[in-house]
Structure 1
Amino acid sequence: MSTTVKPRIAVHKFSSCDGCQLAFLNLGGELIELTRRVDIRHFLEAGLDDPDADVDIAFVEGSLSTQDEIERIHRVRKHSRYLISIGACATSGGLQALRNLDNQHDQWRDAIYAKPEFIKTLNHARPIADEVRVDFELWGCPINSRQLLAAVNSLLFGVPPIEERDKVCMECKRQQRVCVMVTDNKPCLGPVTRTGCGALCPSFGRDCYGCYGPSDNPNTESLSKRFAGLGLMPDAVARRFLMINSAAPAFHDAGLIARSTDTGDGDNG
């Protein structure tokens, strides 16, 4: 990147709750410092509107849930040197991808909206990488400011960001946290979920629910058996995997296997 012209950044929103964009705003003083080093061209959450600006780094939050978003992500890719998807919606479809599991999109839409003919959502919510090339992914629901700033700094120095794929269990070990599954019999997804959150939930005695997506080499089969040993019925096991990152292959497959054990009808998605 040029040493005389500040690198340009854009933050784009697709189908999402805006939580990952808040990771930027939550930087506070660090965000002000960042603006001395970069030129933020588009970021509606912060009042900057220039969606077709040519930028060095484009951050994209949200899943692809409408035809308009499919067309728009291609424009974002065209105008970006690097494209980074941020958060569970952008990396795996997020909560919107729950509708992918059962072919009942039209029924749900018609039951919820008074004028369903005005709702133009696609039958399936898709991650950004399903449609365009993505240079790096930041997982999480939401991502945190620390990992976001680390990714920006790495790219500004011209090196690839470091991808965190360790399991949450490793983070608990490093922090000397007591295992909530061993001590409290809680169905924790820490053994198969990537870290990045700092083991936030186990630090407060709560079981991990997988918001950072599958870790490297997740042994979901063994964990499913452990959950069954804790007394969870097959549908409850499936729900553990098929919540925030249901479209992530490892969690998707584990959830559907558990569902098929319960219903005997196999893959309904």
Structure 2
Amino acid sequence: MANENGKATVAVHKLTSCSGCQSVFLNLGEDLLTLSRLVEIRHFIEAGLNDFEAQVDIAFVEGSITTPEDEKRIREVRERSRFVVAIGACACSGGVQALRNIKDSQHWAGAIYADTAYLDSLADSRPVAQLVKIDLELWGCPISGRQLIATVRALLQGVPPVLPTEKVCQECKRAGNVCVLVSQAAPCLGPVTRAGCGALCPSFGAPCYTCFGASEQPNCEALGERLVGLGIPRRQVAERFVSISSGLETYQQAWERWRIPAKEL
């Protein structure tokens, strides 16, 4: 599937998403020139290249599977690609769309749309890996451009990329940040979230929102108990865990642990 010059070929596909992870490609700056020297991009609609049926070496897929069309497209992408890389929280965990998995999404739709007959959505929002075999996940909301380039280089060299699994807290310590959980009693989820963002939110005094998914050995129960102990209402603690990476089972279990059942509201 390499081109006539021996360069690897790449496609960037979009399912149900905000296009934020695709924008990381376009915002690479000088690294985008580096990427263009390494590979030939054959399909990337956001960059003006439309060849969905192209056979490629590496397919990057952004977005969750939320519609029947998504299901059809991801199967076709898998058939035409040597490697499939899920990029972003939506592709890796179902994203914010996965809130429908724990709530009555039909009720929400009825409250927003005058006629829901035209909506063609699945009952759940699923990550790509639940429908087809994937070769790699790049977490983030959006993904890291640095990790993207490192991943392409590693795949071209035939070795697995080395991606972080440690916690955001480790990045905070290396950056010299004051812990917002300790100093502000803020509901920071850095202790259970995978590193990779450079501790962006805590560096500006804001708590972590789980953009990069669950870290290695996430102890959500202990963290939740700590947040409740700080005086944060149980319902707010539950909702912190199901936001950007709400499709992850470990976060959904934390939501179940601290949520207030409807009959108690």
Cα distance in 1 for partners of 2:147, 2:252 equals: 25
Aligned to 1:19: 20
- Specify which of 235, 247, 261 is matched with residue 263 of structure 1: 261
Match of 1:41, SS state, is strand
Deviation of 1:90 after TM superposition, in Å, equals 0.4
* C-alpha contact 2:58 2:85 (8 A) present in aligned 1: yes
Match of 1:252 in 2: 252
Q: Which residue of 1 aligns with 2:182?
A: 182
Once the two structures are superposed, the pairs formed by residues 1-269 of structure 1 within 5 Å of their partners are 4-102=5-103, 104-259=104-259, 262-263=260-261
Q: How far apart in 2 are the matches of 1:216 and 1:249?
A: 14
Deviating above 6 A after TM superposition, structure 1's stretches of 4 or more consecutive aligned residues are: none
Percent identity over paired residues: 53
Query: CA–CA distance in 2 between the matches of 1:258 and 1:19?
Result: 31
Q: Give ranges in structure 1 of 5+ residues lacking alignment.
A: none
Deviation string, structure 1 residues 22-44 (Cα, Å, up to 9, x no partner): 11001122112211221100000
Rounded to whole Å, the distance in 1 between the matches of 2:159 and 2:2 is: 14
TM-score, normalising length: structure 1: 0.94
Q: What is the TM-score when the length of structure 2 is the normalising length? A: 0.95
Q: Distance in 2 between matches of 1:162 and 1:57?
A: 17
Contact between 2:2 and 2:9, CA under 8 Å: does it hold in 1?
no
User: Which amino acid in 2 is paired with 1:17?
Assistant: C
Contact 2:2 2:57 in 1 (8 A): no
Whole-angstrom CA distance in 1 between matches of 2:110 and 2:181 = 41
Cα RMSD of the aligned pairs, angstroms, is: 1.7
User: How far apart are the structure 2 equivalents of 1:58 and 1:2?
Assistant: 13
- CA distance in 2 between counterparts of 1:86 and 1:76 reads 14
Range 179-188 or range 216-225, more displaced? 179-188
1:249, CA displacement in angstroms?
1.3
| Residues 153-182 of structure 1: per-residue CA shift (max 9 Å, x gap) | 111111111121110001111112111111
Residues 99-147 of structure 1, C-alpha deviation per residue, up to 9 Å, x if partnerless?
A: 1112x22222233223421110111111000000011001111112111
Q: Structure 1 residues 264, 96: closer, same or farther in 2, change over 3 A? A: closer
- What is the CA distance between 1:264 and its match in structure 2? 8.2
Q: Say if 1:191 and 1:122 are closer, same or farther in 2 by CA, change over 3 A.
A: same
* CA offsets 1:177-218 (integer angstroms, 9 cap, x no match): 111111121111011000100000111111111111110000
- 1:255 aligned counterpart, secondary structure: helix
What is the alpha-carbon distance in structure 1 between the residues aligned to residue 184 and residue 123 of structure 2? 40
| 2:171–2:199 Cα contact (<8 Å) kept | yes
Instruction: Measure, in 1, the Cα distance between the counterparts of 2:72 and 2:171.
Output: 39
Amino acid at match of 1:251: Y
Equivalent pairs counted in the alignment come to: 263
